[in-house]
Structures are given as structure tokens and as C-alpha cells.
Amino acid sequence: MPRYKLTIEYDGTPFVGWQIQAEGASVQGALTDAVERFTGERVHVQGAGRTDAGVHATGQVAHIELEKHWRPDTVRDAMNAHLRPLPVAVLAAEVAPDDFHARFSAIGRRYLYRIIVRRPDLVLDRDRAWRVLRPLDAQAMAEGARQLVGRHDFTTFRAIGCQANSPVKTLDRLEVQTAPLDFGTEIRVHAAARSFLHHQVRSMVGTLVKVGEGAWTPGDVKAALEARDRTRCGPMAPSAGLYLAEVTY
């Protein structure tokens, strides 16, 4: 059976998350329905990562197996036709080797977290960024981020219900960037690793915002990491600012 690799973009706001659940619309369910309407087949859409409710993607990857060989551009266009008007789009489809697996073949994942610092409510970026009212010290946040890069036990930044076998992960990149806006400032946090613990990125970002506010020092971030204690974590950042930006193979 031919296997296809799909690169997918979606706005996670109306979904319960990537994974099909007993109640509520999911991204995986929307893609499954689109394939069925296109081919008549009910297939399993295997994603590279299970994003939570409200989390977005600009570079999610999935794979499907179909009974018939289709041109990749036909797969892309037909799925998109059946996805409308949902905020999900297949950006690219390509034939993949039989041993390709969207999740287990991945060697890296990159997330982006967007923070917009301004007093007025967000309009165009509502549900797509975290609005913070007071100025943040991005340089201090960057110093705090450096405390987390490398191979560590990330128990402090792990969800209580996380099902990963080990809290030990290697964080390859945690970088803080700023860009001026006409009204306010955007702070972008880039996180890259082979894989992440459940809620790890949002937990790290929430902690870095405490540093940016001046409530924590970069040294406090290191101490929290070394404590290996979930109660030592800063508040978890909202889901709306998080994007699965890229999966590498």
C-alpha cells in the first residue's frame, strides 16, 4: 500500500487537540474524515506529535496509507477540498518509503511560542499569542533559557500526567528573540529537541516570563530545574501561543 507523508498547518483554537477523543472535534479526526470523503477509505492518520487543545501547527507531519496510488498533488488538493472550511490545510503531500513513520522516524521537533507585550487586547492575534501587559526583560529571559539547554532531568517542567518513560531529555535549543511591533513588542521563544515531555515547552515559557517580569532570576530557573519538583515550576503558559513549527527526519 502506498504511504504518503503529509505536512500540515492548523489553527488549534476550535479543536480538543490533535488526537481523536470521545467528545469534541480533533485535527486527526478532521484529516481522517477528509481522506474518507476523498477515497472512501477509513485510514489511521499518524501524526508526529499530539498537540493539546488550542495549540497550533505550521509544520505538523503525518503519514497515511492508501489502497490506490494517487499523485501527491491530488492527495493534497483533494484533502484540502474536503477540509474546508475547517482551519486545517495540507501544505504538501509526498510519497514516502514503506518504513517511514511520522512519529518514530523523526529526529527533531521545533516549537515556537509567541508572546505579545502590550496593553490593548489582541484582535488579529487573539488565540494565537499570549498577551502580557507589562514589559518583559528579554535579555534576562534569554539568560534563564540558557540554564535549561542540554541534557537534564526535566521533572520540574513535566505535566503530572505525562506518560513518557523518562523525564530526561536533551534540549538542543531554547532561544528568546524580540521584534518591535507598531504597538508593543513580540517575544518569540524557539525550543528544539528530539522530543519533549508533555507540557514541557509551555512550562518553560511560563517560567521564563517570571524571569522577564523580574520575579525570578536566571539562577532561580537553574535551581528549579535541579529541584526536579513540579511544584517549583513557574505558571504554565497558555496553549494559544504555542506552535509545532517543524519536524525533521
| This model's pTM is above 0.85 | yes
Catalytic residues: 52
As a whole number, mean pLDDT of residues 79-87 equals 98
> Cα(88)–Cα(84) distance, rounded to whole angstroms?
8
As a whole number, mean pLDDT of residues 63-75 equals 97
Q: What is the pLDDT of residue 148?
A: 98
Residues 6 or more apart whose CB falls under 8 angstroms from that of 121 comprise: 131
Q: What is the pLDDT of residue 63?
A: 98
pLDDT in tens, 112-170: 999 999 999 999 999 999 999 999 999 999 999 999 999 999 999 999 989 899 999 99
Q: Do 184 and 132 touch, CB atoms closer than 8 A?
A: no
Residues 6 or more apart whose CB falls under 8 angstroms from that of 40 comprise: none
Residues 6 or more apart whose CB falls under 8 angstroms from that of 32 comprise: 20, 42, 43, 44, 45
pLDDT in tens, 230-244: 999 999 999 999 999
Burial of 156 (0-12, 13-18, 19+ CB in 10 A): buried
Q: Do 88 and 31 touch, CB atoms closer than 8 A?
A: yes
Integer CA distances (angstroms), 249 to 5, 106, 110, 144, in order = 11, 5, 12, 29
7 - beta bridge partners? Answer: 61, 92
Q: Do 146 and 191 touch, CB atoms closer than 8 A?
A: no
Q: What is the pLDDT of residue 149?
A: 98
Q: What is the pLDDT of residue 189?
A: 98
Q: What is the pLDDT of residue 48?
A: 98
As a whole number, mean pLDDT of residues 87-96 equals 98
Q: What is the pLDDT of residue 199?
A: 97
Task: Kindly indicate the confidence band of residue 207, based on its pLDDT and cuts at 50, 70 and 90.
Answer: very high
As a whole number, mean pLDDT of residues 72-96 equals 98
Q: What is the pLDDT of residue 192?
A: 98
SS (H, E, C) 40-95: CCCCCCEECCCCECCCEEEEEEEEEECCCCCCHHHHHHHHHHHHCCCCEEEEEEEE
Helix extents (H) in the chain: 27-39, 72-83, 138-146, 200-213, 218-227
CA dihedral 78, 84, 89, 94 (to 10 degrees): -10
Task: Kindly indicate the confidence band of residue 177, based on its pLDDT and cuts at 50, 70 and 90.
Answer: very high
Q: What is the DSSP letter of 14?
A: T
Q: Do 197 and 162 touch, CB atoms closer than 8 A?
A: yes
Domains identified in the chain and CATH numbers: 3-96 (3.30.70.580), 108-248 (3.30.70.660)
As a whole number, mean pLDDT of residues 202-226 equals 98
Q: What angle do CA 11, 89, 15 make, to 5 degrees?
A: 35
Q: What is the pLDDT of residue 241?
A: 98
Q: What is the pLDDT of residue 157?
A: 98
